[in-house]
Amino acid sequence: MTTQAFTGVLSPVLTPFDNDLRPNGRKLAQFCKSLLAEGCTALAPFGTNSEANSMSVEERMELLDQIVAAGVDPRKLMPGTGACALSDAVKATKHAVAKGCGGVLVLPPFYYKGMSDDGFYRFFSETIQRVGDARLKLYLYHIPPQTVQGISHDLIERLIKAYPTTVVGIKDSSGDWKNTEAMLKRFPGFGIFAGSEDFLLANMRAGGVGCITATGNVNAGMIRKLYDTWQQPDADQKQAHISVVRKTIQRHPMIPSMKSLRAAWSGDAAWLNVLPPFLPLAMEQGKALAADVAKLGCKGPEMVPAE
């Protein structure tokens, strides 16, 4: 295993859509810069909370072009490049590596259920070999709440053995701390991210490298503060508090909820747009939520920490 390509607090970047539901690359690039200023150490565009799988692979690649062209450092980007189709995963991954991205986050193929570890191994191995680029740093994306079938520890071991300088980490979005803990014990040095800030402190204490979390989109500053100071005596209180903020945001389905906050904070109603099968919230709902999280100290862009 190698030096960590990524550590800290990453956010799966929300994707802004225009009213005709087309992704807006200019706004996305601006938003990436805001998130880095608000506290994210790096970014994971085209994740679950980016509605990535509701966009075509071409749309995602075009957006990545726009983000990088706008001046976002590609070494700070870990775009999601997974897909059900091997050809799509290879195309998107090749493109990300060519753009200089520091890594990629790759879902297992998620249409067919009941697949074997051998079948999943074949998918990841073919992807890596077809990309065929030593610069590739691949993070596995374990998220059984959406894909149903996750990535087993035996499969991880096999992939690390076969591709030790390529398969360098994992995002654990199982919501099951026992799973993260078992991986931390079995794979020391592997770049293990908690999939939610709820487990950030536990993950840091057990040897993890940070978290890749949805709410980085709206509460990066507070989460980053915990990451930076996790060894201080008040870390447990900080952890408890950011978990309360998260719970408040989860009053609505996560993606429309966070977008409604961004809409309320910016006054830009286009932030409410979500792709089907999601449904948008109303600006009023965003304002009500903004008022509630403000009471918890989560006030949006103005909370950028002074340098």
One residue of 26, 65, 100, 112 binding a copy of itself per CB under 8 A: 112
Amino acid at 17: F
Write the burial class of residue 188 (CB in 10 Å: 0-12 exposed, 13-18 middle, 19+ buried).
exposed
The Cα angle at residue 24 between residues 246 and 196, in degrees rounded to 5: 20
Q: Is 276 in the site for a copy of itself (CB under 8 A)?
A: yes
Could you say whether residue 18 binds a copy of itself (CB under 8 A)? no
| Binding span for a copy of itself by CB under 8 A among 5-13, 112-120, 195-203, 257-265 | 112-120
Residue 146 or 229 having the CB closest to a copy of itself: 146
Place of tokens 């408890």: 240
Q: Find the part of the chain contacting a copy of itself (CB under 8 A) among 39-47, 111-119, 153-161, 180-188.
A: 111-119
Closest to a copy of itself by CB, 84 vs 283, is 84
Does position 59 interact with a copy of itself (CB under 8 A)? The reply is yes
Q: Which of 6, 31, 46, 123 binds a copy of itself (CB under 8 A)?
A: 123
Q: Count of residues binding a copy of itself (CB under 8 A)?
A: 38
Name the nearest CA neighbour of 285 among 268, 302, 298, 272: 272
Q: Is 283 in the site for a copy of itself (CB under 8 A)?
A: no
Count of residues in the chain: 307
Binding residues vs a copy of itself (CB under 8 A) = 21, 48, 53-57, 59, 83-88, 91, 108-113, 115-116, 118-120, 122-123, 126, 145-148, 275-279
